[in-house]
Each structure stands twice: as structure tokens, then as C-alpha cells.
Chain A
């Protein structure tokens, strides 16, 4: 006796059945998730490279004093975490159709990103003033500068791009050119930038803190 042919009526209900929208999200949201996964792997490979040269080097420098470097980086972390909650509020307002409120929260998020960048550039200038360059520094471990500037520079680039991205979305959503889904997708990007910093802060700063 032959079994009945498989079709929508005979296949048991499963999340893997596919259909027109197997993940129940918009294609552009899936696109952002796939970008985030690939970008997470990019940052991870840089972090692994940093860890590799750090383990392979003798006397890796620990130049970051509690004041100003660690305090500055801690404030940057608080600013970025706070900008994540403002983008959550923007998405929430967008979902209930409050266009002006959502745009306001997005502007607050952009302000957080700008403050983060300013504090970070201040930190960079301090290190450059101390003589840290890409492949030389006063502590004689050449790869310190390369790994520090590469990791934090790529992250700062992401924050800067995010500020512009959120600006475009805030402008477009306020003028009803974008939907709440676009606000949500830009929020995903911003949270990811925040998430990456949750690893860079302990790895780059806290593990290089000067402890007396």
C-alpha cells in the first residue's frame, strides 16, 4: 500500500516547513540579521588576532590608568548602553504610530553615538600624544598600537555609520517615507554595535588596566 503524497495538508506542522515566510519576518529584516552574523564574524576574527598577538608577546603593555582612560571607557559604555534603550523606545513609539516621538528617540540615540565618538577620539588623541603609533610605541610591543587602533577604529566606524543611518531613518520615518519596520531594522544594527563594545571594553581596556 503506497503512502499518500506529501502536501501542506499531510506534512506535520513544523517551523521548518517553509512556506512564503518561513521565519515570519520581512526579507529586509532577515537581510540585516545575516549582515549582523557576518559582521560578528569579522569582529571575532579581529579579536582572535588581537588575542593571538597578545598571548604571543612578552610584557604586553597595560597603559590604561583608572583616570582618565578606564573612567572614560566606562562612561562610553554607559552612553552606548543608554543609546540602546533610546532606540528601543524609538522602535516602541514607531510601532504604535507615534512618528514624532520615534524620530525624537532616534535623535537621542544619534546624540549618544556622537558623544561616544567624541570620547573615543579624545582617548585616541591621548594615546597618540603618548607616542603610540600603528607599529611602534614607548613600551616596545609593536602590535599594541595596531591591534588597539584596528579594533576600536572599526568599531568607531560602525558607530559613525550608525549615526548617519539612524539620521536617514529618523528623517524618512518622520516624513512617512519609511515604516516602523525600517526603524526596527535600524535598531537591530545599533544594538549590534552596542553588543560588540560589550566585548571590546573588557578585552581592550579592562585587561590592559594599570593595576597598582
Chain B
């Protein structure tokens, strides 16, 4: 572990890579704002905005949070469990549609 830290001391990552990621994040944010003003169905809009957000989150986790350079075992310990728990939160979600349909129109 100390050997890894020493290696990082000797060879800092180039700034250019981080600036490119930052540029992409800004560009995707701009695209999201433009997209929000297009006349699309709410479901399509939601799907597109969330897809862009997932890409932005992946860029931040991989490059800014350095996970792409960590051991695969750390990634496999953290990410699948988190994604699974978040996915399970949606188990109750269809009930919201039931509530909407029960309201008097």
C-alpha cells in the first residue's frame, strides 16, 4: 500500500485528463438544460435526463473519485450492493400510480 502511495507521489496524474472530464460534465449539463425546453413526453424527458445524469455520475465516480484506478475488488464490493439496494427502493413505486388512478377525475 505504501509502495502505491509513493508511486502516486512520484507521478501525479496529468491535469489534462481531469479538465477533459470537467468539460464533458459542463457540456452534458448544458445539453440537459436545452433538453428540458423541448416539447417531449414527460416519460421520454425523464428517461433521457436520467440517462445523462447516470453518465455524469459515472464520470465523477470513475475519474474524480478515482475508482477506475482502484482495485476491482473495491469496485465490486461497493457498487453492485449499492445499485441493488437503490433498485429495491422502487419496489413500492407502482403503488403511486394506483393512488393516482384512485383519485376522482
A80-118 contacts to B (CB < 8 Å): 81-82, 84-85, 87-89, 92, 95-97
A179 closest partner in B (C-beta): B5
Q: How far is the CA of A111 from the CA of B32 in the complex (A)?
A: 25
Which residues of A line the B interface, CB within 8 A? Answer: 15-16, 21-26, 30, 33-34, 37, 40-41, 44-45, 48, 51-53, 55-58, 66, 70, 74, 77-78, 81-82, 84-85, 87-89, 92, 95-97, 180-181, 184, 187-188, 191-192, 194-195, 198-199, 201-203, 206-207, 209, 211
Q: How far is the CA of A74 from the CA of B93 in the complex (A)?
A: 29
Query: A202 touching B36 by the CB < 8 A rule?
Result: yes
* A191-B65 CB under 8 A given contacts A48-B93, A77-B29, A207-B45: yes
Interface check B41, CB cutoff 8 A: no
Tell me, rounded to whole Å, the shortest Cβ–Cβ distance linking B13 to chain A. Answer: 7
Q: Which residues of A contact B74 (CB under 8 A)?
A: 23-25, 30, 33
Q: Which residues of A contact B99 (CB under 8 A)?
A: 56
Interface size for B (C-beta < 8 A) is 55
Q: How far is the CA of A66 from the CA of B35 in the complex (A)?
A: 13
* A95-B12 CB under 8 A given contacts A56-B99, A206-B49: yes
Contact with A along B67-87 (1 / 0, CB 8 A): 000111110011001100110
* A15-B65 CB under 8 A given contacts A26-B1, A74-B29: no
In the complex, 12 of the A-B residue pairs with CB atoms within 8 angstroms, ordered by the A residue number, are A33-B78, A37-B81, A48-B93, A56-B99, A58-B100, A74-B33, A77-B29, A187-B65, A195-B57, A202-B32, A206-B33, A209-B37
Query: B36 touching A84 by the CB < 8 A rule?
Result: no
Tell me, rounded to whole Å, the shortest Cβ–Cβ distance linking B97 to chain A. Answer: 6
Tell me, rounded to whole Å, the shortest Cβ–Cβ distance linking B51 to chain A. Answer: 10
Query: A88 touching B9 by the CB < 8 A rule?
Result: no
Q: How far is the CA of A26 from the CA of B100 in the complex (A)?
A: 49
B32-52 contacts to A (CB < 8 Å): 32-33, 35-37, 39, 42, 45-46, 49-50, 52
Query: B45 touching A48 by the CB < 8 A rule?
Result: no
Q: Which residues of A contact B19 (CB under 8 A)?
A: 85
